[in-house]
């Protein structure tokens, strides 16, 4: 099989081909490494490439397979990791020069689990659209377009066929926006589903449950594969709950109650959603109706008070517009009274959305109000992504089509707490019908 054919395979397909000994892990690792190195000058998506160690592990896994031993469901498959997640022996600086010499001695829980399943770390991916440590990351669909942030390099590598599977993190849209802008799939799991152990900077999940770690890939099946590996308690992160993980294959699509929306309250002062994105959401709604779902256009509660929580905790606005956020610090300095006010508002918002979800199984909405920004243009707001970080609900970002200028358009598929199975099942229907937005 040619290297080009190998690169077009999903992680699930590669796992099957390696297990059947129709491909070797060494072939698969080499093909992705070669493509990554060739694309690096144009995309700048890899922060640190791990070649010799990855090749050595691939050869060992090939030898084990020849002896009849399969390590796990990812046996011999390479994957990449956002540079906010620890990989033993590799730098983890989060794009910040002052942490350039930080080299963790242990893997993050998610990395350890993927390795135990037979996966091979091939690279750490660049974070943020433009970090001081490694510069600007480019979108494979148009080099002058933004890949979205902050799992920027991860989305770019996967979209460009330099990685079949990746691990990102999401606090307000950091898996979903890059997935949408680069035309791949991404899962923000329920808060408390996947351990944050080994995330850098360290997150206190009890103080700020918005941040989650999740998989990114080119297929929904790969999201399911990765989630089954990385989910569950690790004995370290106290926020992870022992809630069983249900299979998307067991979800009955007919009868699901689906709400969709394409706009928000004008008082939030957000730019209108591009018409091509509105059309994509409407097309998904029509598809689900034809699939037997009960579909209605209905927006969940989205209060200015609730969005102010994300604004104050995550960013300092340069103006009153939600379009013009400038992320100056991960956590802003708030008074004790202000924190208490936010906690009450946060709880009130979570309760209101939970009441909404009593009558709805799935929500469909845009990822952002625009496609990927070109150099110098506004990046777009988090008005469609941040609400579901505040509630901790599972969300799949899934590509649907491309815009008239060739940039991917995706939608969010939101389910209630702990119902990743529903979000993934609906995303699978969308993927099968529309075929995504491949490079």
Return the active site residues. 82, 150, 174
Strand-pairing partners, residue 366, are 411
CA distance 357 to 301: 11
Is-contact 7 32, C-beta < 8 A?
Answer: yes
Smallest Cα–Cα separation from 400: which of 156, 251, 179? 179
CA distance 192 to 206: 10
CA distance 170 to 414: 14
DSSP β-ladder status, 185-188 and 135-136: unpaired
Is-contact 378 371, C-beta < 8 A?
Answer: no
Strand-pairing partners, residue 395, are 188, 414
HEC profile of 222-244: HHHHHHHHHCCCCCCCCCCCCCC
CA distance 321 to 214: 30
Token pair in block for residue 299: 């927006």
Is residue 413 within a helix (H) or strand (E), and if so which, with residue range? strand 408-415
């Amino acid at each position: 099989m040619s290297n080009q054919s190998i690169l077009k395979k999903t992680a699930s397909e590669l796992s099957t081909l390696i297990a059947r000994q129709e491909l070797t892990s060494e072939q698969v690792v080499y093909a992705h490494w070669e493509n990554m190195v060739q694309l690096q000058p144009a995309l700048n998506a890899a922060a640190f490439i791990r070649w010799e160690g990855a090749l050595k592990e691939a050869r060992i896994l090939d030898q084990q397979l020849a002896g009849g031993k399969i390590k796990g469901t990812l046996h011999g498959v390479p994957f990449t990791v956002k540079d906010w997640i620890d990989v033993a022996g590799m730098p983890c600086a989060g794009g910040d020069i002052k942490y350039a010499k930080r080299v963790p001695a242990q893997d993050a829980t998610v990395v350890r689990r993927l390795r135990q399943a037979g996966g091979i770390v091939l690279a750490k991916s660049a974070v943020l659209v433009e970090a001081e440590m490694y510069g600007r990351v480019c979108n494979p669909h148009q080099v002058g377009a933004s890949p979205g942030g902050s799992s920027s390099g991860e989305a770019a590598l996967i979209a460009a066929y330099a990685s079949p599977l990746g691990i990102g993190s999401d606090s307000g849209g950091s898996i979903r926006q890059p997935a949408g802008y680069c035309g791949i799939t991404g899962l923000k799991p329920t808060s408390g589903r996947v351990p944050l152990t080994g995330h850098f900077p360290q997150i206190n999940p009890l103080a700020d449950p918005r941040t989650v770690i999740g998989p990114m890939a080119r297929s929904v099946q790969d999201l399911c594969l990765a989630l089954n590996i990385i989910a569950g308690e690790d004995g370290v992160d106290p926020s992870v709950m022992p809630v069983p993980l249900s299979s998307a294959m067991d979800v009955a699509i007919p009868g699901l109650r689906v709400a969709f929306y394409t706009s928000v309250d004008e008082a939030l002062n957000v730019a209108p959603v591009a018409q091509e994105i509105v059309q994509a959401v409407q097309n998904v709604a029509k598809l689900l109706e034809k699939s037997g779902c009960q579909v209605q256009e209905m927006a969940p509660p989205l209060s200015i008070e609730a969005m102010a929580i994300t604004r104050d905790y995550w960013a300092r606005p340069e103006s009153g517009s939600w379009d013009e956020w400038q992320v100056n610090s991960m956590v802003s300095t708030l008074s004790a009274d202000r924190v208490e006010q936010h906690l009450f508002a946060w709880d009130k918002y979570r309760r209101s959305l939970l009441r909404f979800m009593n009558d709805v199984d799935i929500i469909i909405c845009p990822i952002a109000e625009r496609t990927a920004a070109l150099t110098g243009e506004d990046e777009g707001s988090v008005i469609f992504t941040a609400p579901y970080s505040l509630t901790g609900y599972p969300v799949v970002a899934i590509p649907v089509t491309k815009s008239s200028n060739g940039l991917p358009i995706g939608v969010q598929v939101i389910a209630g707490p702990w119902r990743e199975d529903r979000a993934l099942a609906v995303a699978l229907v969308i993927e099968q019908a529309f075929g995504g937005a491949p490079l």
